[in-house]
Amino acid sequence: MKILIVNGPNLNLLGKREPEIYGSNNFDAYFQKMKASYPQIEFQYFQSNSEGALIDKIQECGFSYDGIVLNAGAYTHTSVAIADAVRAVTTPVVEVHISNVFQREEFRHHSFLSDACKGVICGFGLESYRLAVESFLV
Ligand code: CA2
């Protein structure tokens, strides 16, 4: 089984800034542990601050992978183009958020991606990613 994990803008700063919202763990350390606990899954990780690069990666893997875990960061709330890419591919996509976006500012309550995705997981910190991976195993 092949799963792609995609992180959008500013998520490269995880563990370095705003720990009260996003926690103090660095994504790479979390990802290494998660990979070790799913030896049967072939993971690829991709992070970009650029909308086009995120779309290119979704298109590149979206016809051959078994699942995509997507945290599009702030593009979640703005990007029709990423939503179109999610709709265009055949691989199911699960939208994730580290924070509970519904407890935050109103503009974070709307996602352009959710209705194009298989499901949405938010508010469980970095464990949101593991829960999304689990969703591909059931
Ligand atoms: O909660 C999430 O995972 C978000 O997708 C994170 C986005 C935010 O715009 C979404 O509304 C919810 C922001 C990612 C920024 O990540 C940072 C991490 C550490 C320090 C600063 C920003």
| Least-confidence region, from 24-28, 78-82, 106-110, 117-121 | 24-28
Is residue 64 pLDDT above 90, yes or no?
yes
User: How do the domains of the chain map onto residue ranges?
Assistant: 2-137
Q: How far apart are CA 44 and CA 53, in angstroms?
A: 15
Q: How far is CA 31 from the centre of its chain?
A: 12
Where are the strands (E) in 1-138, listed by range?
A: 2-7, 42-47, 67-71, 93-97, 119-122
Please tell me which residue in 30, 65, 75, 97 is annotated as part of the active site.
97
Q: What pLDDT was estimated at residue 15?
A: 86
The two three-digit tokens of residue 30, written as one number: 């979390």
> What pTM, to 2 d.p., does this model score?
0.97
Q: Does residue 22 carry a catalytic annotation?
A: yes
Overall CATH class of domain 2-137: alpha beta
Give dist(CA 107, CA 89) in Å, integer.
Answer: 27
Residues framing ligand 1 (Cβ under 6 A): 10-11, 13-14, 17-18, 22, 71, 73-74, 76, 97-99, 101, 108
Q: pLDDT of 17-29, one tens digit each?
A: 788 887 788 899 9
- Check if 45 is active-site: no
